[in-house]
Amino acid sequence: MGHPRVAGVGLTHFGKHPERTTRDMFAEAGLTALDDAGVDTDDIEGVFYGNFIGEVSEDQGHMGPISAEALGIDAPATRIESACASSGVAVREAIKNVRSGESDAVIVGGAERMNNLGTAETTASLALAADDLYEVRVGITFPGAYALMADAYFEEYGGSREDLAHIAQKNHENAVDNEFAQFQYEIDIDDALDAPPVAEPLHLYDACPVTDGAAAAVIVSEEYAEDNDLDIPVRVTGSGQGSDNLALQDREYLTQTPAATNAADEAFDDAAIGPDDVDVAEVHDCFTIAEVLALESMGIFDHGDGINAARRGDTLPEGDIPVNLSGGLKAKGHPVGATGAAQIAEMTRLLRGDHHNSEYVSDASVGITHNAGGTVASTVVHVLEVDQ
């Protein structure tokens, strides 16, 4: 059996849309994806939907059926919640469904509504991704947790706020022409260094924003594509998932993320490639330090060297391996439950040539996506490939 294909993708604008419901946003993203794919809703045999905090932001659980209804699809619908990796895990379930022959065509995506909450409520609901008993009750917030990881990294490997600022600068620059991005403006190193602290050593431009938005992708089998004369260049050749203890205190290291390493190892094995084969990556940069840990966890850079990559130029658009050409979570935005599917959408467009930054990867044949939940307690890695 051939590899599943990404037949079409869709995104809403990522930004502040407190007046839009998740079902409204998912309808836009999902119908865009179906239209992009040229696949009829009647052919869709399953819906996989990621959402994180609907219970808090919309008093709504049981969103699987709503996600199908929003698209006019009569098929089994499953909601996955894995914090910031919710729709990444949903993508994995969708891929497995097509790979196993269970379905020929499915739609996967996610949506999140966050800006209708106040700041305290938003911080509290994001903390649902951390361990309530062992972290949240003693005062850990997500910026605080990633600040601990950044501090530990600086202590173990060296590095500075200025190194991290280069990552923020890169990702903001990448988003300037991204019509879907929350922040379409550049920043310079001094902007980042002079910004107010969020949790030392992380300052404002080290953190992704609070974002509303939705993303979707239509996944079909190779056979479906052939039977329907669809010319679909992007294949999903690898998928991997890893989990770790939820609380940071229960981990062996603060500076390594084995859930991501396990996910990447599985995905690379699955695709029969190695990290050296990767041409372009979208990784989970909820904080600048998270981009460093992501790249190192997957073996793209050695431990201790990931923090130099942006400054050195390796991960810039013109570099050896452009990272977060979408703008990443940092500048594109992070509607939590939509992010994993959005990475698939961005990577698909990058590889097939209709992304605003496709010019930088016109020779690329292998792209990866890395979507992490919490402080990387859940991670999903996917490998997408096109022929060159």
Q: Provide the annotated active-site residues.
A: 84, 334
Binding status of residue 14 toward its own copies by CB under 8 A: no
Q: Pick the binder of its own copies from 174, 241, 288, 326 (CB under 8 A).
A: 241
Interface with its own copies by CB under 8 A: which range of 5-13, 51-59, 163-171, 313-321? 51-59
Q: Judge contact between 382 and 238, C-beta under 8 A.
A: yes
How many C-alpha atoms does 360 have within 13 Å on its Cβ side? 23
Least distance CB 203 / its own copies (angstroms):
26
Name the token pair of 175: 């988003």
Binding status of residue 346 toward its own copies by CB under 8 A: no
SS3 100: coil
Q: Pick the binder of its own copies from 110, 159, 213, 242 (CB under 8 A).
A: 242
Question: Tokens 């930088």 correspond to what residue?
Answer: 360
Least distance CB 195 / its own copies (angstroms):
28
Q: Pick the binder of its own copies from 29, 66, 260, 383 (CB under 8 A).
A: 66
Binding status of residue 76 toward its own copies by CB under 8 A: yes
Binding status of residue 243 toward its own copies by CB under 8 A: yes
Footprint on residues 113-142 left by its own copies (CB under 8 A): 124, 127-133, 136
**Closest CB to its own copies among 102 and 162?**
102
Amino acid making up residue 156: E
Q: Pick the binder of its own copies from 16, 31, 41, 69 (CB under 8 A).
A: 69
Q: Judge contact between 237 and 271, C-beta under 8 A.
A: yes
How many C-alpha atoms does 42 have within 13 Å on its Cβ side? 0
How many C-alpha atoms does 212 have within 13 Å on its Cβ side? 20
Q: Pick the binder of its own copies from 27, 29, 80, 292 (CB under 8 A).
A: 80
Closest to 47 in 3D by CA, of 24, 70, 28: 70
DSSP code string of 145-173: HHHHHHHHHHHHH---HHHHHHHHHHHHH
Binding status of residue 39 toward its own copies by CB under 8 A: no
Q: How far is residue 235's CA from residue 305's CA, in Å, rounded to a whole number?
A: 31
**Closest CB to its own copies among 74 and 227?**
74
Binding status of residue 340 toward its own copies by CB under 8 A: no
Exposed / middle / buried, residue 45 (Cβ in 10 Å: 0-12, 13-18, 19+): middle
Binding status of residue 256 toward its own copies by CB under 8 A: no
Footprint on residues 81-100 left by its own copies (CB under 8 A): 81-83, 89, 93, 96-97, 99-100
Q: Specify the DSSP class assigned to residue 40.
A: -
Sign of CA dihedral 114, 372, 284, 30: negative
Footprint on residues 351-380 left by its own copies (CB under 8 A): 373-374, 377-378
Binding status of residue 222 toward its own copies by CB under 8 A: no
Closest to 179 in 3D by CA, of 347, 13, 345: 13
* CA distance readout (Å), 316 to 14, 193, 313, 321: 22, 20, 5, 7
Q: Pick the binder of its own copies from 31, 38, 55, 195 (CB under 8 A).
A: 55
Where along the sequence are the contacts to its own copies (CB under 8 A)? 21, 47, 52-53, 55-56, 58-66, 68-69, 74-83, 89, 93, 96-97, 99-102, 124, 127-133, 136, 241-246, 250, 262-263, 373-374, 377-378
